[in-house]
Amino acid sequence: MKELPNAFASRMQQQLDAGFQEFKHAIAANPPVSVRINSSKMEPPQGLQRVPWSSHGFYLPIRPLFTLDPLLHAGAYYVQEASSMFLEQALQQSVDLQQPLRVLDLCGAPGGKSTHLASLITADSLLVSNEVIRSRATILAENVAKWGSGNVVVTSNDPRDFGKLPEFFDVMVVDAPCSGEGMFRKDPKAMEEWSEENVKMCAQRQQRILTDVWSALKPGGALVYSTCTWNTSENEENMAWLAQQEEAENIKLRLDPSWGIVPGELEGIQGYRFYPHLLPGEGFFLTVLRKPGQAREAHSTGKRKKYKLALAGKKEKALIANWLLEPERFEWLQYGNYISAISANLFEDLDELYQQLYVIYAGIEVAEVIGKMIKPQHPLALSQHLNKNAFNTLSLTLEQALRYLRKEDINPGSSGTDKVLLQYQGLPLGWAKQIGNRMNNNYPKEWRIRMELPQVVEEDKLFTLGKYVI
């Protein structure tokens, strides 16, 4: 590993004092590997060390080729850095997660915090997951679809656009773009790009982001702010600036001393730092502010507004209603030839989002209408609300599953003329069309695995998290 930048090393030596040498050794070591499971799709793995501040986070003994585990593509788990899973504690200790909430994940890509939030909130809550960079927003939408919770809307907007939604959100999560000090171990480029000037630039950009979105948070709402840096200018100083400007209150969190998280206070702001020599995780900072005041109750004007969203016709709805569990819970929407579903209680909110923001994915993409035929869509296969009993299913071996995910031809020895739901270890992977003894692979081209497979694909030679589930 390269030498730490002089200015950074000097500051960290002051910050850590006697712990600096241990910190340097930790930065040069291999990072730990952790995953967070989707409890709606798989049981907790056995024999793995838990991430202590997360109910569904686990460490792995080695870093496997995750790309060659079908369970990852099925949305059974997400590969996520352990420190960032502390978001769970921040939410549990500052918000009533049993209530229906509107939550914004402002800087959502690639999807770690968004999928985590989706697992923490109730099914009748709404999560808006935003990413300003369009190419990254597409990756975010893919990971949200794989997670399959069905109450997430993916948008691609600048933070200032959320000013069109005054006092809309109960919770905002801002994992702010930062100078990346905490990523030096995982990403050597972060070290090359680091400079004191970049730290100042990031701090200013973070202030602009916070100013732009603050009005969209309800009075009494919680802002969870995080970075992967250790300096105070991007962390406590920015939060102290915001708290003073907006008269916001800092929420103090309870910590288990055994976790190794370092609390610190500056200018009245209590923040929480993660250092790699004190815990198995990367560099991270988090704090929580509460907006002053109480949320005002919404009063109906009695006038029916004009909706941007259109409902699916009764005929189409009747053909696909049994494709979801508890279909009566959902409102069925149609955009051109495509039909999607969203919890009925979220329809008004979703329509408002479509009126004000650029939405690229919402709810559950269920079907495409092609003439008189209705074709199930890929996100339906991965939805936690899928009714598998409505379809013919077929189980694949590991090799068949990987070849399917590479969008290759597979021949599992079946026959017929039906749409088939393909599964691996009981979890749906996607659709195929059986035509006699041949099977058309309907896996999305843009999602396919590009990594070459080993010459021999054997269950005991490749990693699959399913090995740890009994």
* Beta-strand pair 338-343/364-370: antiparallel
Contact (Cβ atoms closer than 8 angstroms) between residue 149 and residue 78: no
Q: CA-to-CA distance for 162 and 211, rounded, in angstroms? A: 11
Which class for 437: exposed (0-12), middle (13-18), buried (19 or more C-beta within 10 A)?
Answer: exposed
How far is CA 223 from its chain centroid? Answer: 17
Q: What is the dihedral of CA 350, 287, 283, 201, to 10 degrees?
A: 80
| CB-CB neighbours of 349 under 10 Å | 17
Q: How far apart are CA 129 and CA 107, in angstroms?
A: 7
Q: Tell me if 223 sits within 8 A of 248, measured CB to CB.
A: yes
| Phi, psi angles (nearest 5°) of residue 351 | -60, -40
The one-letter code for the residue type at 220 is G
Active site residue 228: yes
Per-residue CA distances from 402 to 88, 258, 463 (Å) = 33, 41, 12
**In the 3-class helix/strand/coil scheme, how is 289-347 assigned residue by residue?**
EECCCCCCCCCCCCCCCCCCCCECCHHHHHHHHHHECCHHHEEEEEECCEEEEEEHHHH
3-state secondary structure of 6: helix
Distance CA 386, CA 150 (A): 10
Angstrom distances, CA of residue 387 to CA of 172, 231, 294: 32, 49, 41
DSSP-derived secondary structure letter, 454: P
Residue closest to 115 by CA, chosen among 127, 101, 132 = 127
Using alpha carbons, select from 262, 269, 265, 264 the residue that is nearest to residue 289: 269
- Compute the distance between CA of residue 155 and CA of residue 173 in angstroms, rounded to an integer: 15
CA distances from 270 to 24, 126, 178, 206, 285 (A): 25, 29, 19, 18, 11
How, if at all, do strands 269-274 and 152-155 pair? Answer: unpaired
What DSSP character marks residue 418?
Answer: S
Q: Which residues are part of the catalytic machinery?
A: 228
